[in-house]
Chain A
Amino acid sequence: MDRTDIETTTEPTTADLVRETFGEAVLDITERLGETTITLTPKALPDVARWLRDERGFEMCVDVTAADFPQDKERFRVVYHLLSLSRRERVRLAVRVGGKKPTVPTLTTVWPGVNFCEREVYDMFGVHFEGHPNLKRILMPEDWDGHPLRKDYPLGYEPVQFTHNFEEIDAKKPYAKS
């Protein structure tokens, strides 16, 4: 897009409208590589999401995921990729959370389809979603310790069991015995 194009469009962008409507709840807005990212306070997330769905036609939340930055105080960055089918537009919402029990309000009340995605984030990062109807592990076994995609969770491997080391490996795997 040319620079002149940007200057002549009079219609406000979604990000501008969110900032106008929600004011202080919006911490940051970035436009980079053709993608809009709106960083919010976790508290305001459901209201902003509902407003985006009802007023700006974001019918779908295609994806929820997170990234772990253990050196920061609020170490988890949970991101939501929203898609508007009617306006052909994408927006990314981001919230930062930390603490002993990182908690974000659930968006299942706005888009029921984020149910599995939020369970995956809980499973992989240990971020809790307040108000989620069925928050339990989805990919890992239910009695698993730890959250694999955290940066302080080491990359493990499974030793191959042969006849010569059968006993040795068997002793290391209490969980393999049902």
Chain B
Amino acid sequence: MGMLQNAVNWLLGRDQRGAWELHEEMRERQLEQMLIPTWEEGESGPRMLLNMGPQHPSTHGVLRLFLELEGERVVRVEPDIGFLHTGIEKTFEYKKYEQGVTLTPRTDYLSNVFNTWAYCMAVEKLLEVEIPPRAEYVRVIMGELQRISSHLVWLGTHALDIGAMSVFLYAFREREMILDIFEMVTGARMMMSYFRPGGLAWDIPDGFEEVVASFIDLMPSRIDEYEALLTNNPIWRERTQGVGVVDAETAMAMSVTGPILRATGVAWDLRKAMPYSVYSEFEFDVPVGTHGDVFDRYRVRMQEMRESIKIIRQALDKLPGGPHRVDNHKVAPPPKEEIYLSMEALIHHFKLWTEGMLVPPGEAYAAIEGPRGEIGFYVVSDGSARPYRVHMRSPSFNNLQIISHMAEGGLVADLIAIIASLDPVLGEIDR
């Protein structure tokens, strides 16, 4: 704003300084903020201090990286984050528990179902309610569809960053089908807010099962298409194999979770290791890599999409009937028909929508396996209808730290491949 305002002022003739003085002043400021590359003497020749981002097409959002370069080689990388900070954790404290649901998708817009899911699980843990099986199964189906769509965005942008543009168009074709399913169920394509503490907002519509079944019948052949484009492509292999290598010990010490950890050979998937929801009822494998490089992360995510399809197929087969929300009217509103006939139901309805649900005091941490790793919600309640403190453990935030380990000593061009393989979502990092 400041720089622009200066320019506007100058154009309007309010500022009496000449163009040259203004130019000098702006240049000085840009140097201060490292917007212009500068040089300093290193051990083996001059070092370039370069600012990458915050507006850079391959940083997947508003990520700024300070780079120290010796020629083409990266000596130091330091991420600078916070450009998308909106204070969501503060906002939570001023919203009722039900209202908090709508904040969760705004953090990670690519895996918004998972954020809502983890938040609802933490609140349900505090409330000590068990949600009905139908709601659990629908959550699993929606979650796994979201995992596929999130991985498709990663695949498309990853390939686009390295220069394989056509994959992006293929990946977004299938993502559109998933978003259409989401629109059919929730009316929204991105910010769904479909899960509520105690179950789902409403039941799935008629025809949902057929649409999902036809999608999962189609999807394996489409994944084959992406693999045909990339897996044995010599340029793709050249750009990804042996790049950004990290070993299992470092990854664990740096709190890295999700596909990046699995690519180092650690078979750690919360769905399998510490099953939540109804995941213990499904048969699926946890794909792992061996080298921990960009290529292994690619293989792990591609395999994960296939496993997600397996889970959705089993969940559709087993999808039980019954209610989609708990029968506890302190948590979920009573059905509309009852409100007209029953005094109790009317009171519950009124209390719930004015006062909100009262959550017993205590603290709870619920974690689930999101597309990028462990998504955790830590909720502290003081017994009122608004949370005392909500903290989101976002996987990208912790995963981003490892970028220095991966990129230092490599080439600048490899840094682009590494950022893409980390699959960061800056909305979730900054919250």
Contact = CB atoms under 8 A, between A and B. Distances in A.
A141 B430 CA distance: 12
For B252, B365, B378, which residue has the most chain A Cβ atoms within 10 angstroms? B365
A35 B81 contact: no
A32 B125 CA distance: 10
B2 A177 contact: yes
B255 A61 contact: yes
Given A59-B253, A149-B389, A176-B2, 16 more contacts: A33-B126, A59-B252, A60-B255, A63-B376, A65-B378, A65-B391, A67-B389, A79-B378, A81-B365, A85-B273, A111-B253, A113-B401, A120-B397, A138-B82, A177-B2, A178-B1
Contacts of A40: none
B254 A113 contact: yes
B91 to A, nearest CB: 8
A44 interface: no
Contacts of B82: 137-141
B22 interface: no
A26 B365 CA distance: 21
Interface residues of A, number: 40
Interface in B248-294: 252-257, 266, 268, 273-274
Interface of A is mostly: mixed
Nearest to A137: B82
Contact of A33 (B87, B125, B378): B125
A140 B1 contact: no
A3 B256 CA distance: 36
A149 B90 contact: yes
Contacts of B274: 88, 90
Given A63-B393, A65-B391, A85-B273, A139 B256 contact: no
Contacts of A117: 255, 397-398
B378 A62 contact: no
Interface in B6-48: 29, 33
For A62, A141, A155, which residue has the most chain B Cβ atoms within 10 angstroms? A62
A114 B90 CA distance: 22
A149 B363 CA distance: 17
A114 B326 CA distance: 38
Nearest to B373: A62
B183 interface: no
9 contacts: A61-B255, A63-B255, A65-B393, A81-B393, A112-B253, A114-B255, A115-B401, A141-B82, A148-B87
A113 B380 contact: no
Given A35-B364, A155-B90, A113 B255 contact: yes
A116 B401 contact: yes
A90 B256 CA distance: 16
B400 interface: yes
Interface in A63-105: 63, 65, 67-68, 79, 81, 85, 88, 90, 92
Contacts of A81: 365, 376, 378, 393
A114 B401 CA distance: 9
B253 A33 contact: no
Nearest to B1: A176
B85 A139 contact: yes
Given A111-B253, A178-B3, A67 B273 contact: no
Interface string A18-33: 0000000000000011
A97 B34 CA distance: 38
A85 B378 contact: no
B388 interface: yes
Contacts of B376: 62-63, 81
A141 to B, nearest CB: 7
A37 B266 CA distance: 27
Nearest to A59: B252
A62 to B, nearest CB: 6
A148 B273 contact: no
A137 B397 CA distance: 15
A148 B253 CA distance: 29
B252 A60 contact: yes
A95 to B, nearest CB: 14
Contacts of A113: 253-256, 398, 401
Interface string B385-413: 00011010100011011000000000000
B391 A139 contact: no
A81 B126 CA distance: 17
Interface string A124-164: 10000000000001111100000011000001000000000
B400 A116 contact: yes
Q: Give me the 6 closest cross-chain CB pairs, A-B, nearest first.
A: A113-B255, A178-B2, A177-B2, A113-B254, A139-B82, A63-B393
